[in-house]
A = this chain, B = another copy of it.
Amino acid sequence: MYAFWNILSFLIAGGALAYAVILFRQIMRKDQGDAAMQKIAVAVQTGGRAFLHAEYKWLAIFVAVVFTLLCFGRAEQFLGIKTAIAFLMGATASASAGYFGMHCATRAAVRTTQAAKTSLGAALDIAFKSGTVMGMTVVGLGLIGITVLMLAYRDATTNFANYVLGFSFGASSIALFARVGGGIYTKAADVGGDLVGKVEAGIPEDDPRNPAVIADNVGDNVGDVAGMGADLFESYVGAIISTAIIGWSLVPTTLTGDAHADAMSSLLMYPIVLSAVGIVASFLGTFRVKADDESKLSSALFGGLIAASVFLVIGGALVTMLIQPQPLRAVGSTEQIGHWSVYLSMVVGLVVGVLIGKVTEYYTSEKMAPSQTIAQQSQTGAATNIIYGLATGMASTWIPTLLLAVAIYLCNHLAGMYGICVAAVGMLSTLGISLGVDAYGPVADNAGGLAEMSHQPPEVRKRTDSLDATGNTTAAIGKGFAIGSAALTALALFSAYKVEAANEALRVGQVPPDLGLDNANVVMGLLVGAMLPFVFSSMAMKAVGKAANAMVEEVRRQFREIPGLKEGTGGEPDYARCVAISTQGALRQMAAPGLLAVLAPILMGMVFGKAAVGGLLGGATASGVMMALFMANAGGAWDNAKKYIEAGHLGGKGSDTHKAAVTGDTVGDPFKDTAGPSINILMKLMTIASLIALPLFA
């Protein structure tokens, strides 16, 4: 049955990819508008490609080095060629998903603008399809990679999912640099371009005279499409593989022979098959997303997500009956857990994921109290705007944290460590559509920018604006969801670390590490771990500052040296130069935080051992979740407080209140688009790096 379910899942994952290709072709067949629009679109497409090419060139070196190092490892320590190949596949799959998703998004944006000339429904159709291409590519490539490796590495005597973990490690490595690099890129262009364009030269946002405007548009795609995709790709595969690793370790020892093999298969297959069901559910859900007028937009998108969730709950029940996964409560225990308890853990994960997204919407929406309070506090100046924004971000941690705590408590009661891992899988299983809903946002945003730059009539701009406004809401939900799923995935991976750290110790004849808080090494690790997200965020924020400064210099230079550019009387801006500067800035600045994430746990392990690393991972996850929520939600709330004022409240655009709100928004940019989301990866990557490097630890 193991092979059967894996092959079936493989086929479904292949179907997801096929669906992505069909949607992409449908998009490409649409009208891409007039010459002015196409010219801008081509510039964005070229810029995006240039960044990814440059980034991937550096990443190829990193991947080659790690691949070689992994090859030298010993197979019985879950290193060696098997892990190396899985690593290479994971890196390639993640990079390909990012590349294809962005390729599609930059082509869909201009067609969305063109479709907006006809109707809102037609424009939504293209933008959402482009998002779905990203979503289906991520789940398709992710599940194909996992099923292939789970079949190829199948072995009756070792916990072979540990080799497959290489796939997750590969995905994580790409994700870190994509998120950090993409985050630096997008904000360097945005902040740098605005500082000179809007503030110094006095030309409006998205004005084609600004040389950084193309880099800014490229940045949206690099950060919000490729970066977000890589982030969730990592969560998706990390959750599935850690569930499989835990599953193997919890096979009932009371069973023997075929019964034992069946039990093992069921525990390893279950997360994979659930994810396959999630793909089908997401596919069905996408057909619910249709809207003709603005009022129905939000409910259409959210309706699709809910429909997919309902399908998953039904389909999940069916496969639970067929597969009947029944782990032991804990290693060494004889108490077996019922398969419906495992199923319920999945449902808990699914529900908590949706709820965390909704809480994020509350804290960041301009229709809700927190963001409006920040707007009101802007009346007494930038300082009170900042104080309330920071306070709102800090306060926003409490409900998501309690939701996560409840999920951990319930799932642990239902099905132990395995239940917590399955909850992460459940949360992420409808990623095909939830990432679609999320990645639709930047396409709509870019379509609006294109309409502005190519001087489309007001009704076109109005339609793209309403798409964009809804996109901001779904993006907020998506960000909360990304953090929640990263936290749960990090915990699932952490569970795998704890199990494997004990196993590795037993393998070499040591006592299992004492992960108790009464062990001073764990407490030491806990403090160091809690410190890392702070230092990492600091580095990311300063990196944006440095890259933005380089952009400022360049834009000033062009305004100075290209005659007639600023006045709009002639002179073409050199977009490519700005794209190159953002690219170089991002690549140069992403190295240090990236290496910190990989090296910190490995160094800690080599010097102080497995228990200290356990503490470090616990501390980093705990403080990382808070920092991610704090920064993402403060940034979102500042952004929408500004938009609330721009909509005409409290004096509207141009007032002193508005100026104060703009300050908050600028502070929020590196918070919500660079440092905050990068922490998602930090939490996961550190845990995976620790798992891989376990044999090196003292």
Q: Which residues in A have some Cβ–Cβ distance to B below 8 Å?
A: 195, 199, 377, 380-384, 386-388, 390-392, 394-395, 397-398, 401-402, 404-405, 408-409, 412, 416-417, 420, 487, 491, 494-495, 498, 514-518, 520-524, 526-531, 534-535, 537-539, 541-542, 544-545, 608, 614-615, 618-619, 621-623, 625-626, 630, 662-663, 666-667, 670
Contact, CB under 8 Å: A545 / B409: no
Verify B608–A409 contact, CB threshold 8 A: yes
Q: Is the interface of A mostly helix, strand, loop or mixed?
A: helix
Is there an interface contact between B618 and A545, defined as CB atoms closer than 8 Å? no
Distance to closest chain B CB from A363 (angstroms): 11
Q: Is the CB of B383 within 8 A of A530?
A: no
B498 touches A404 (CB 8 A): no
Q: Could you pull out 5 A-B pairs where Cβ atoms are within 8 angstroms?
A: A383-B662, A408-B520, A494-B517, A514-B516, A526-B618
* Nearest residue, chain B, Cβ from A528: B405
The quantity of this chain's copies bound in the complex is 2
For A521, list chain B residues within 8 Å (CB): 409, 412
Say whether, besides A623-B626, A663-B381, A527 and B405 are in contact (CB < 8 Å). Answer: yes
B520 touches A420 (CB 8 A): yes
A666's closest neighbor in chain B, by CB? B383
Return the chain B residue nearest A408 by Cβ: B524
Flag if B498 contacts A408 (CB, 8 Å): no
How long is the Cα–Cα vector from A527 to B420 in the complex, in angstroms? 14
Query: How far, in whole Å, are A383 and B392 apart by their CA atoms in the complex?
Result: 18
What's the nearest-Cβ distance from chain B to residue A283, in Å?
34
Q: How far is the CB of A403 from chain B (nearest CB, A)?
A: 10
A380-B195, A386-B663, A541-B390 known; A622 vs B517 contact (CB < 8 Å)? no
Q: Report Cα–Cα, A599/B487, bound state, in Å.
A: 26
> In the complex the two chains form, what is the Cα distance from A183 to B81 in whole Å?
59
Asked if A394 and B535 sit within 8 Å, CB to CB, the answer is: yes
Collect the chain B residues with CB atoms within 8 Å of residue A417's CB.
Answer: 518, 520
Residue of B whose beta carbon sits closest to that of A498:
B518
Q: Provide the residues of chain B in CB contact with A401, threshold 8 Å.
A: 527-528, 530-531
Residue from A517, A539, A614, A667 with most neighbouring chain B CB atoms (10 Å): A517
- Assembly CA distance A552 to B328 (angstroms): 63
Residues of chain B within 8 A (CB-CB) of A523 are 408, 491, 494, 618
CB distance from A596 to the nearest CB of B (A): 10
Residues of B near A514 (CB, < 8 A) are 516
- In angstroms, Cα B538 to Cα A387, docked, is 9
B-side contacts of A623, CB under 8 Å: 530, 622-623, 626
Complex contact B391–A538 (CB within 8 A): yes
Contact (Cβ within 8 A) B408 A670: no
Q: How far is the CB of A374 from chain B (nearest CB, A)?
A: 11
Q: Could you say which residues of chain B place their CB within 8 Å of the CB of A199?
A: 381
Q: How far is it, in angstroms, between the C-alpha of A520 and the C-alpha of B530 when the chains are bound?
A: 19
**Contacting pair B520 A409 (CB below 8 A):** yes
Is there an interface contact between A382 and B382, defined as CB atoms closer than 8 Å?
yes
C-alpha spacing A129/B10, complex, angstroms: 78
Q: For the complex formed, measure the closest distance between the CB of A458 and the CB atoms of chain B, giving whole angstroms.
A: 31
Q: Are B383 and A667 in contact (CB under 8 A)?
A: yes
Q: Is the CB of A387 within 8 A of B515?
A: no
Bound state CA distance, A386 and B638, in angstroms? 14
A528 touches B380 (CB 8 A): no
Nearest-neighbor residue (CB-CB) of A331 within chain B: B518
In the complex, how many angstroms separate the beta carbon of A607 from the nearest chain B beta carbon? Answer: 10
